[in-house]
Amino acid sequence: MITYDKLFIGGTWTDPSTLRPLDIRSPHDGSVVGRAAQARPTDVDRAVAVARAAFDEGTWPNTPPAERIAVLRRLNALREARAEEIAALITAENGSALWFTRAGRHGLSRQAEAYLKAAEDMAWEEVLTPTDPASGVRSIVRRVPVGVVAAVIPWNSPFSSALAKLLPALLAGNTVILKVSPENSLSMGLLAELLAGCGLPEGTVSVLPADRETSEYLVTRPEVDKIAFTGSTRAGRRIASLAGERLKRVSLELGGKSAAVFLPDADLEAFKTGLPFSSLLNNGEACVAHTRVLAPRGRYEEVVTAVKEVVESLKVGDPRDPGTFIGPMIRRDQQQRVRDYITLGIEEGARLVTGGPRVPAGLEQGYYVTPTVFADVDNGMRIAQEEIFGPVLTVIAYEDEDDAVRIANDSEYGLSGGVWSTDEKRALRVARRLRTGTVTVNGAAIGYDGPFGGFKASGVGREFGFAGLHTYIEYQTVTV
């Protein structure tokens, strides 16, 4: 059993203010897989103090960009060397299927390389060509770090969420306090080990597992200059409110209720192959999951049958089994939440095609949900409008292309979406009409060099690549 009985504060493993560690339990069977110290406000105060001192008086903000890039390259190499261990830990604590946590290794590498390239290409200081040469005045534009960053991440994909914030924040020269969910105390403890070994100066990074109340305490500290948050839209609104009161910089990556638009000419077999990875990845606990399937009237029942066949073919069970596609929900309350939505869908009058609120037979000890598909769904139903965060799909009929776009955009969210078609020009035409931050065509993977984030209630700001790096930069203009 893995134990982290100390907190990683400013690069040093430190005794926590409370010596009662939290038992980290497997969502599969409830067994204890590890124990870890949890941060309290007193620990936050220490982390904030060392981060503030490291930024104001330390070396990292003024370290040449090339040297910062080299340090973060070492971090990425250390992570890749322990990729299998990381995958196993996240599977143990989260219940994420092993296929998903192993596949994450490649995504994390691409994410890191995109950030590193953006930092290499960045003009950290440049002299602008004067618009009036005769004035004798020239402007020097500097890209400088924001300051102390409080990065608050969710439990569903911890390494991806952590590095999406740590890498650009550190490349830009900021100091960071990473607040992680208690459920991820083990994998994030391993991340702290990697951070300790990559060559960051003292005080630059802290990693604090903590509850929501401690998170709120962190983001309201006056020494914090910027908040970077990933989580639910409800929590994001609260974070934005707290940041607004204090005029703190803030970026938010929030929820989604994304639509997969199946156009009349789409290849059904290709759609069936891609559906599990676009709509049911990570047990359905993914903000980018395409949980609304929009199908044309003329092929509606064909699509419903295809979705049913795919969902029923996926193995549900022990996430450590390489053959498992869908594991348990992370906690009992999350399991009950998803089951309640399934019951709500039946009460709203949707047709239950497969699944239902029952727990899969033989898996009663864990937090399992039977993967569920609803048909005859009206887009105004709550199961079509609200983020369920579980393996529940709705199939919605549309009349024509304009109707499909209208339904897809009829949501408070705007994070992701997909278009399926054998005609690329047509697919791109539809994709350009969707009000979402990312759109995938025929199941293409999201690219890490392009910006990632959402429209509307799906967030503020962008992550990944050049745009993500800019999120952690302030501009200073010096005129001479």
3-state secondary structure of 373: strand
Distance (Å, rounded) from C-alpha 300 to C-alpha 312? 18
Phi/psi region, residue 9 (left: phi>0; alpha: psi -120 to 50; beta: rest), is beta
Q: What is the CA radius of gyration of the chain?
A: 23
Least Cα distance to 419 among 299, 259, 297 occurs for: 259
Residues annotated as catalytic (active site), given as ranges: 253, 287
SS3 163: helix
Round to whole Å and give the CA distance between 102 and 85. 10
Length of the chain: 480
Cβ-based neighbour number of residue 411 at 10 Å: 25
For residues 275 and 420, what is the distance between their CA atoms, to the nearest angstrom?
11
Q: How far from 3 is each of 27, 158, 217, 220, CA to CA, in Å?
A: 18, 18, 26, 30
Rounded Cα gap, residues 328 and 312, in angstroms: 16
Phi-psi bin for 147: left (phi > 0), alpha (psi -120 to 50), beta? left
Do residues 21 and 5 lie in contact, with contact meaning Cβ atoms separated by under 8 Å? Answer: yes
Largest Cα–Cα distance of the chain, in whole Å? 81
